[in-house]
Amino acid sequence: MEVQTSYRKAITRSATIGAVIVIIIVGAIAVYYVSTTTGPSSTTSSTTSSPSITSTASTTTYKSTIIMGTTDAVQTTIDPADAYDYFGDNMINNLGAPLVDFAPGTTDTSPSALQPALATKWVVSSDGLTYSFILRSGVKFDDGHPFNSTAVKYSFDRAMQIQDPEGAIVGIGYSGIIDHIDTPNATAVVFHLKAPFSAFLSLLTFAASYPINPWKVPAPHCNPCNSLSGIVNYTSGNPSASNPNGLGPYTLTEWTRQGTKDIEMTLTANPNYWNAAAGYPKTHTIIIKFYPDSTSLAAAIKSGDVDLAYRQFTTTDIQSLQTTSGLKVYPSAGAFIQYLVINERISPFNNPYVRQGLAAAINRTDFIDTVFAGTATPLYSNVPVGMFSHIDSFKTAFGADANYTLAREMLAKAGYNANNKLVVDLWYETTGHYPQSPDQAQVLQKDLQASGVITVNLHGVDWPTMGANRAAGNMAVFIMGWYPDFIDPYDYTFPFFQSSASSWLNDGYNSSQMDGLLNQALSAPLSQAGTLYGQIQSLQATDVPIIPLYQGGSNCCGAVAKTTVNGIYLDVTLIFRLETIYETTS
């Protein structure tokens, strides 16, 4: 849900992208070697941030309320043990806090760029198996309960015990990374890993790693917290009971839903925020309004009904908004990807020839030119273009664009032809979680049917229903996307292809060969990791559980705001930080 900056108007310049990502990935892998020394001291930790943020004069007066519009929504909950959708995770980012973090707006995700957050210092053992953190003292949750090492241990132990099959804890494989956690005292917490994992510090910046308030879970048993309890679900009319977080710049004071559809949220400044002395959050109240589609969201920002709009817009919307007086467009900075998931539990998609036939019939050039006006980059493996270890495995296996001859050949092996066409039920979301999903589906339908041996039926549903259908396993082929969790090719492979971790996709893919490669890559040194991830991508193109489509795109993940609104930083990790956003009074 994770990612580099130069993905702006030059998104198609893969050489530039490659240079940026390689620097980032090598930096992430170097964590194990560099961070064996103590991190920044507590005296600098509460004020360390990018110069553009700290330069704001203390006498500046900010407007108390900013209204934000979005087409996105929380798919299930805002519990770190469960949430694995972008908006749910982003709410955790703003209602909670990590042990360590990157500076807002940074393009550097190397170990030296990590800043103290809830932890003021950290030391990594020479073998890469032990990470020791010193926590801030005196920190409180938004309800006044104390934060300490017990809360950190409780949060991780609870999430790994719950093992939500649709959550990030299983998807990323936390239990395969963390062996156990010790708490020597109230301000010290020690993570013992099962194997060296070079991206562990980056993993701690991800929402699933944010400590929760043990007193807010369904059956709290603290002092000490030795009884682990279940997921915190949405509770109508009770935002406090819906929110297990409480260490972030904001606290949730309103959350209105109709069924599974989000209507409005209100975030209010957390009076106990650990970084309040540095002047955060800049705006006391953020009201989030949810819009049904990109057209209504674009109209809202143009008319002034909202001060800030974030995700999603169409390419046409972006082009129009760029020339609208009084507005500023902030392009996306992250390595977002989209792909087709094929459910092998549903016949005939358990047949590899069928999956290979579909992969051969994808026309990425038509797809990108028609939907995104050429602003996205074609993707031929799950690992983004330019990222360490990337190879164009699908281009090698099936060609750069639609290879209908190969598609017909593969499908003929499964018994399909012009008189007996393969019927594909293609599912997509309609409510703006991904950019222009209905347009994507229509182009895919056209291009797949151009093979002459495939018939595509389209099924559009809202984002919560999409999640429910995925959990039920009743969609044969469906469009999904990935907002990176942290910066590493591990995050673009393990959650998708490892037999247990991919339970959130519920696509039935299970390969002992793939599991073996992924497990080797987890702790492999840099000299071996590239080869292993290359083999993983090649095996993806052979087994075809997922067909990569594109990455980036000018209208993905960006923001539009009034020119009077400032402090917007589109993070390399795709965290949309609300505490830095402000509008000054006249």
Confirm if 167 and 82 have CB atoms less than 8 A apart: yes
- Taking the model in full, what pTM does it have? 0.83
Residues 97 and 134 in one domain: yes
Residues 392 and 510 in one domain: yes
Q: What is the pLDDT of residues 509-554, one digit of tens each?
A: 999 999 999 999 998 888 899 999 999 999 999 999 999 999 986 5
Residues 380 and 270 in one domain: no
Residues 576 and 531 in one domain: no
**Mean pLDDT calculated for residue range 113-125:** 95
Share of the chain above pLDDT 90, in %: 73
Residues 399 and 480 in one domain: yes
User: What pLDDT score does 285 carry?
Assistant: 98
User: What pLDDT score does 1 carry?
Assistant: 44
Q: What is the Cα 212 distance to its own chain's centre?
A: 19
Residues 524 and 485 in one domain: yes
Q: Determine phi and psi for 68, rounding to 5 degrees.
A: -115, 140
Which of 81-95, 329-343, 480-494 is the most confident on average? 81-95
Share of the chain above pLDDT 70, in %: 86
User: What pLDDT score does 8 carry?
Assistant: 24
Confirm if 363 and 521 have CB atoms less than 8 A apart: no
Residues 71 and 87 in one domain: yes
Q: Mean pLDDT score of the chain, rounded to an integer?
A: 87
Q: Is 506 a domain residue?
A: yes
Q: What is the pLDDT of residues 202-239, one digit of tens each?
A: 999 999 999 999 999 876 555 556 667 889 999 999 99
More confident residue, 108 or 248: 248
Whether residue 58 has pLDDT greater than 70: no
Residues 258 and 369 in one domain: no
**Mean pLDDT calculated for residue range 69-76:** 93
User: What pLDDT score does 221 carry?
Assistant: 58
Which residue in this structure is represented by tokens 């409480």? Answer: 246
User: What pLDDT score does 575 carry?
Assistant: 84
Q: Is 303 a domain residue?
A: no
User: What pLDDT score does 525 carry?
Assistant: 85
Residues spanned by the domain of 430: 337-552
Q: Is 91 a domain residue?
A: yes
Q: Is 323 a domain residue?
A: no
Q: Is 136 a domain residue?
A: yes
Separation between Cα atoms, residue 373 and residue 311, nearest integer Å: 18
Residues 232 and 261 in one domain: yes
Confirm if 183 and 149 have CB atoms less than 8 A apart: yes
User: What pLDDT score does 432 carry?
Assistant: 81
Q: Is 299 a domain residue?
A: no
User: What pLDDT score does 246 carry?
Assistant: 97
User: What pLDDT score does 224 carry?
Assistant: 55
User: Quick one: DSSP state of residue 503?
Assistant: G
Q: Is 178 a domain residue?
A: yes
Least confident piece of the model among 5-14, 51-60, 351-360, 433-442: 5-14
CB-CB neighbours of 455 under 10 Å: 12
Residues 431 and 548 in one domain: yes
Q: What is the pLDDT of residues 2-51, one digit of tens each?
A: 222 222 222 222 333 333 333 233 333 332 222 222 333 333 333 333 33
Which of 258-267, 333-342, 571-580 is the most confident on average? 258-267
Which residue in this structure is represented by tokens 């991919």? Answer: 502
User: What pLDDT score does 526 carry?
Assistant: 80
Q: How many residues does the chain have?
A: 586
Confirm if 231 and 162 have CB atoms less than 8 A apart: yes
User: What pLDDT score does 225 carry?
Assistant: 62
Total domain count, the chain: 2
Q: What is the pLDDT of residues 459-502, one digit of tens each?
A: 999 988 999 999 999 999 999 999 888 878 999 999 999 999 99
CATH of the domain at 76: 3.40.190.10
Q: Is 371 a domain residue?
A: yes
Q: Which residue in 201, 233, 203, 229 sits closest to 215, CA to CA?
A: 229
**Mean pLDDT calculated for residue range 355-379:** 95
User: What pLDDT score does 431 carry?
Assistant: 85
Residues 137 and 224 in one domain: yes
pLDDT class of 186 with cuts at 50, 70, 90: very high
Confirm if 331 and 558 have CB atoms less than 8 A apart: yes
pLDDT class of 430 with cuts at 50, 70, 90: very high
The angle at the Cα of 237, spanning 233 to 241, to the nearest 5 degrees, equals 40
Residues 514 and 563 in one domain: no
Instruction: Tell me whether strands 130-135 and 119-124 are parallel, antiparallel or unpaired.
Output: antiparallel
